Chains A and B, each alone.
Chain A
C-alpha cells in the first residue's frame, strides 16, 4: 500500500511562494494578473479569472446550501431555467443564484471562533493556495482557440482511398511550390486512380471534386474560370436543394429566427435586414412566429438584399410579394423592400431606409466571409460593412458562418483543411436519399470547393474563417455577444431528430451553437449586439436590455 498525504503539497518548489500566506485578503493584483484566466480550468473548458476563483467558490457553496434547503425549488430550476454560456462559470453560477429568491446566507464563510467568540472569516484555502505550483501557464482563453486547429473525422477507408488522399496532398504541395509540371503528372495519376476507387460515396466522391478543382487551378489559372459566374438563378436553385438535402441551412435559419424573435420581444416596429434573400426561405417561419406572439405581432419590415436579375425580372420583388401574401394571411402587417447589389460591399446604409423608431435585426447567413479581402488592410470591405451595421444600432445581428479555416494564406494548409471539411460534409450528405435534392446539393458544395481551391484574389469569395476568429473580429468592431441559450440548443437538437441520420450533433460553444457531423462542427451560429457607445447615425431608444 502506498500512502500519500496532502502535506506533501507544500513541498513543491516550482511555484511562487508568498510569505504573506496567512493574511486574508491577498494583496491587490496588477491589472494584467487580474485578467488572467486560470489555466487549468481553461483546459477543462471553463473561463474563470484567477482573481474570481474564490468568489465563484463561495457562490457555488451558496447554491449548494440552497439546494439542500429547498430541493423542490432546485429541480424547478432545472426544468424551467434557460442556461447560457456554461464556459463563463461565474455568470452561470450567478444566474442560477438569482433564480433563487432567498437572500443568500453564507454559513461556511463565517464561523464563530470558540475562543474569542468573534466571527472569523473561514478562509480554508489560504494555507494551500500560495504554495500551489504554477504548473500550467495562465494563457488567454481566446488565444487557445485561435491556435491552428485541424479537425478530422475519418471512417474506415480502403487503401486506394488513402492513396488518393496522399496524392491530393502531394499535388497541392507541388502547386504551392510552383512545380506545375509535377503537379500535372500527379493529376493524371489521380484521374487514373479514380477509375479504380468507389466514387459513389466516401472519399472517392469528394476526391473527384478536389481533383477537378486542382485541374482548374493548374490549367485555367486562378481567375477560376466561370464557376462563380454561374447565374444568380442557378445559384438560387442549387441553394434551395442544399437547403432541402441536409440540415445546415435549416439550423442556420431556425437558430437565427429564435434569437431575432427574442430580441424583438416587446417591440412594435421591427425591421429585418437580410443580407442574402435567396428565396426568402428563412422568413415564413419568423412571420408565423411573430403572428403567434402573445400580445400580437409587430409591424414587420423586411429588406432583402440580393444580386440584380439579369433578364429584367425583379426576382427580389417577386419573393417579397409572396412573403407579403403569407403575412397577410396570418394578419401580420408587413412591408418589403428589395435592394439589388452584386456585392454586399456595394450596399450603402441609406439604401436600407432604417427608421429611427424601429428595432433592427441584421441577418447574415454565410455572407460576411465574402467581405474578407485578400489583403487584410485598414479599409477592407468587412470593416466598412461592420461599421455601417453598427451605425444602424441593431437590436441584434445574427451571424452564421461555415466553421472552417479556408482563408489561410498558405495554399497547402487551406487545401488540407478544405479536404477534411468537405469530406465530412459529403459524408453527412450520404444520409440523404431524396433526389434531385442530393445531386444538386452536391453541385452546390462542389462550387464552394472549386472556389476555395482554384481561385485567388477577388475571385476567391469563399473565405471561411472559424468562429474564434469571427469572435475576435466582431468584438474588435464594437459588437458584444448575445448568448444563445439552452432552449435554442434543445430546439435545434430536436430539429435534428427529424432527420433519420444519426450523426448530426449540435454543440454549445461559449455562447454560440454549432451544427456538425460526428463531432466535427461544420456551421456556427452566433448573435451580436452593437456596443452602446457606438456612434449612432440614428438615435435609437434602447429600453429593452437582454437579461
Chain B
C-alpha cells in the first residue's frame, strides 16, 4: 500500500508545477480534515481554513467588484465584477450599477467549484478566476454564492442558480445596447459546471435566453464504475471515495448516483433533444478520474443534436485553471474568450 502511494505521489509531482502541487495538495489535505465518515461536515473549520478576499470597488488591473444581496430570505449573495471602461477609468462608486455602455456586453454567471460543499464566491481562488474572466471576455461576471451541501442538499444549489439567473436577466443596467437584452452565459467549474447544466435546463423551460454554457471539469457521475475511475483513483489528488462522499452529501437521502442531478443523461436523465439548449464548451482534464462521465455528457449533448465543443487537455489535472502557470490554462482561457466573443 505504501509503495503504490509513493508511485502516486511521484506521478502527480511530475505533471504540475511546484506551486500548483502545493496548492492542490493543501486543499486535498484540508478537505480530508473536513469530511466526516458519518457524512457530516466540519463547516466551522472549513470556513476558518478557506482563504477569502473582500470585494473591492477600487479597480485593480482594470476590474472592480462589489457584493449584492439578491435574496434576503436565503442570504444569497453574489459578487459582481465589472471592467473599467475607457470613458470612465475610475468608476463612480455611487453608481456601481451604472448601465453597461458597450453595444454588446456578455454577462457571465459564474458558479464556483468545491464539489457542492467547499468554497464560496469570495474564496481567493475564485475571486482571482472571475477577475481574469472579466478581462478576457470584456464581460461582467456575476459569481453566485450558492448554498452548499451537506447542510443544503439538492436542489438548493440549482434553486440559487436559478434565482441568480432571473435576477441577472431582469437588471436593466446589464442590458446590451444593441438589443436591450442581457447577454447571458453560464460558467462554472467542478460542481459549478454541474449547476450550469441544470440551471440552463430551467432557463429553457421558462423562456430565458442563455447564449452559452461553459463547463470546466464539470462534476458528473453515476452508479457504474468507469475505466477512468479505476485507472486514476487516488493518482492525481482525487479519490473515488471522496467523490462518493460528496454525492452522498448533495443528493437527496436515499438517492444513488444515477439521480439525474449527478447523471443527467443516465437512466433517470432528461433528454435535451429538440429543445433550444445553449451551445456548450466543455473542458475535460485528461488526468481527472471522472473524465468518462464528462465525456459521456458531451456525447449526450451531441446525440441530442446540441452544439458542443470539447476541449480535452491530456496532461491536465484538476484545478489547472486556478494558476496561470501552465499552457493548459492559457489554451483554455483563449477558447473561453473566443466562445463568448463569437456573439458580438
B69 closest partner in A (C-beta):
A155
CB-based contact A67/B32 at 8 Å:
yes
A69 to B5, CA, bound (A): 10
Interface string of B292-323 (1 = CB under 8 A from A): 00000000000000000011111110000011
Once the chains are docked, how many angstroms separate the CA of A68 from the CA of B34?
16
A79 vs B75: C-alpha distance in the bound complex, in angstroms? Answer: 29
Are B323 and A40 closer than 8 Å at their CB atoms? yes
Taking the nearest CB of chain A, how far is it from the CB of B112, in angstroms?
13
One of B51-59, B149-157, B176-184 at the interface: B51-59
Q: Does A101 contact B (CB under 8 A)?
A: no
Contact with B along A100-138 (1 / 0, CB 8 A): 000000011001000000000010110011001101100
Determine how close the nearest CB of chain A comes to the CB of B60; give it in whole angstroms.
7
A24-57 residues with Cβ-Cβ distance < 8 A to B are: 38, 40-41, 43-46, 48, 53-54, 56-57
**B70 to chain A: closest CB distance in Å?**
7
* Given contacts A152-B66, A518-B69, A41 and B315 within 8 Å (CB-CB): no
B75 touches A518 (CB 8 A): yes
Q: Does B102 contact A (CB under 8 A)?
A: no
Q: What chain A residues lie within 8 Å of B28 (beta carbons)? A: 64
Stretch in contact with the other chain, from B8-16, B204-212, B249-257:
B8-16
Bound CA–CA A133/B21 (angstroms): 16
Decide if B36 is an interface residue (CB 8 Å cutoff): yes
B167 to chain A, nearest CB (A): 9
- Interface membership of A153, Cβ < 8 A: yes
Residues on B with C-beta less than 8 A from A87 are 51
Is A200 part of the binding interface, using a Cβ–Cβ cutoff of 8 Å? no
Cβ-defined contact, A78 with B34, below 8 A: yes
The answer to whether B19 touches A40 (Cβ under 8 A) is: yes
Q: Interface segment, A287-295, A308-316, A345-353, A486-494?
A: A486-494
Residues of A within 8 A of B94 (CB): 162, 165-166, 168-169
B327 an interface residue at 8 Å Cβ cutoff? Answer: yes
Q: Which residues of B contact A46 (CB under 8 A)?
A: 23, 26, 51
Q: B314 contacts A519, CB within 8 Å?
A: no
Residues of B within 8 Å of A147, CB to CB, are: 58, 60
Q: How far is the CA of A60 from the CA of B26 in the complex (A)?
A: 7
Chain B residues in 8 Å Cβ range of A434: none
Partner of A154, one of B10, B51, B66: B66
In the bound complex, residues from chain B placing their C-beta under 8 Å from that of A60 are: 22, 25-26, 29
Query: A547 contacts the other chain (Cβ, under 8 Å)?
Result: no
Interface string of A246-289 (1 = CB under 8 A from B): 00000000000000000000000000000000000000000000
For chain A, which range describes its interface: under 10, 10 to 19, 20 to 34, or 35 or more residues? 35 or more
For A513, the closest partner residue in chain B by CB is B48
B267 at the A interface (CB under 8 A) = no
- A149-B56, A155-B68, A520-B54 are known contacts. Are A83 and B327 too (CB-CB below 8 A)? no
Evaluate contact between B18 and A83: CB separation under 8 angstroms: no
A408 CA to B69 CA, complexed, in Å: 28
Decide yes or no whether A540 CB sits under 8 A from chain B.
no
Segment at the interface with B among A231-239, A330-338, A376-384, A501-509: A501-509
B48 and A64 contact, CB distance less than 8 A: no
Q: Mark A61-78, 1 if CB is under 8 A from B, else 0.
A: 101110111000011011
Is B45 in contact with chain A by the CB < 8 A criterion?
A: yes
Interface contact A520-B21, CB-CB below 8 Å: no
A519 touches B26 (CB 8 A): no
Given A1-B310, A57-B22, A60-B26 in contact, is the A129-B17 Cβ separation under 8 Å? yes
- Cα-based distance from A64 to B10 in the complex (angstroms): 13
B6 touches A107 (CB 8 A): yes
Taking a contact as CB atoms under 8 Å apart, the answer to whether B327 and A4 are in contact is yes
In the complex with contacts A4-B327, A9-B326, A153-B5 CB distance below 8 A: no
In the complex, what distance in Å separates the CA atom of A308 from the CA atom of B48? 42
Contact A152 B327 (CB under 8 A): no
Q: Is B97 an interface residue (CB 8 A)?
A: yes
Within 8 A of A (CB), among B90-109: 92-97
Which residue of chain A has the shortest Cβ distance to B80 in the bound complex?
A: A154
A64:B315 contact, CB within 8 angstroms: no
Chain B residues in 8 Å Cβ range of A162: 94-95, 97
What separation, in Å, do the CA atoms of A57 and B30 have in the docked complex? 14
**A498, CB-defined interface residue at 8 Å:** no
Contact with A135, one of B57, B68, B325 (Cβ below 8 angstroms): B325
Residue of B nearest to A96 (CB): B29
> What is the interface residue range for chain B against chain A?
35 or more
* Contact bitstring A414-427, B, C-beta under 8 A = 1, else 0: 00100010000000
In the complex, which of the residues A9, A67, A136, A508 contacts B29, with contact meaning CB atoms closer than 8 Å? A67
Q: Which residue of A lies closest to B329 (CB)?
A: A135
Q: Across the interface, do B13 and A125 meet the contact criterion of CB distance under 8 Å?
A: yes
Closest Cβ of chain A to B209, distance in Å, is 23
- Whether A151 lies near B55 (C-beta < 8 A) is yes
Cβ contact of A132, chosen from B67, B325, B328, cutoff 8 A: B325
Inter-subunit contact B29/A54 (CB<8 Å): no
Known: A44-B128, A78-B34, A149-B54. A8 touches B327 (CB 8 A): yes
| Contact (Cβ within 8 A) B331 A518 | no
Chain B residues in 8 Å Cβ range of A4: 313-316, 327-328, 331
Provide the residues of chain B in CB contact with A43, threshold 8 Å.
Answer: 124, 128, 323
Check B244 for interface membership: any CB of A closer than 8 A: no
- Tell me whether A489 and B44 are in contact (CB under 8 A): yes
Contact B312 A3 (CB under 8 A): yes
- Give the one of A8, A83, A111, A152 with max B CB within 10 A: A152
Instruction: Using A169-B93, A493-B47 as known contacts, say yes or no to A57 and B328 having CB atoms under 8 A apart.
Output: no
Q: Does B125 contact A (CB under 8 A)?
A: yes
Contact residue among B51, B57, B310, B327 (Cβ-Cβ distance under 8 Å from A86)? B51
**Cβ of A69 and Cβ of B128 under 8 Å apart?**
no
Near A by CB (< 8 A), chain B positions 111-129 give: 122-125, 128
**A12 and B2 alpha carbons, distance in the complex (Å):** 36
Q: Please report the C-alpha to C-alpha distance between residue A79 and residue B77 in the assembled complex, in whole angstroms.
A: 30
Residues of B within 8 A of A61 (CB): 9, 25
Chain A residues with CB under 8 Å of B314's CB are 3-5
In the complex, which residues of chain A have a beta carbon less than 8 angstroms from the beta carbon of B30?
86
Least CB distance, A388 to chain B, in whole angstroms: 34
Q: Does B86 contact A (CB under 8 A)?
A: no
User: Is the beta-carbon distance between B324 and A151 smaller than 8 angstroms?
Assistant: no
Least CB distance from A252 to B in Å reads 19
CA A111 to CA B122, docked complex, whole Å: 42
Residues of A within 8 A of B37 (CB): 75
Residues of chain A lying within 8 A (CB to CB) of residue B75:
502-503, 518
Contact of A6 with B315 at beta-carbon distance under 8 Å, contacts A44-B322, A60-B29 already known = yes
A165 vs B98: C-alpha distance in the bound complex, in angstroms? 13
Contact of B93 among A67, A83, A416 (CB under 8 A): A416
From B22, B45, B52, contact of A89 by CB (8 A)? B22
A133 contacts across to B, CB distance below 8 A: 325
Residues of chain B whose beta carbon lies under 8 Å from any beta carbon of chain A = 1-2, 5-6, 9-10, 13-15, 17-19, 21-23, 25-26, 28-30, 32-34, 36-37, 42, 44-45, 47-49, 51-58, 60, 66-70, 72, 75, 77, 79, 92-97, 122-125, 128, 145, 310-316, 322-328, 331
Assuming A489-B48, A519-B145, what are 6 further A-B pairs, CB within 8 angstroms? A12-B327, A41-B19, A48-B19, A61-B9, A83-B49, A166-B95
4 shortest A-B CB distances, which residue pairs?
A45-B51, A45-B124, A78-B33, A152-B66
**Could you tell me which A residues sit within 8 Å of B by CB distance?**
1-6, 8-9, 12, 38, 40-41, 43-46, 48, 53-54, 56-57, 60-61, 63-65, 67-69, 74-75, 77-79, 83, 86-87, 89, 93, 96, 107-108, 111, 122, 124-125, 128-129, 132-133, 135-136, 147-156, 162, 165-166, 168-169, 416, 420, 486, 489-490, 493-494, 502-503, 506-508, 518-521
23 examples of A-B residue contacts, CB within 8 angstroms: A2-B313, A5-B314, A45-B51, A45-B124, A53-B22, A56-B22, A63-B29, A65-B5, A77-B33, A89-B22, A93-B29, A96-B29, A125-B18, A128-B14, A128-B17, A128-B18, A133-B325, A149-B54, A151-B57, A153-B55, A155-B68, A169-B93, A518-B69
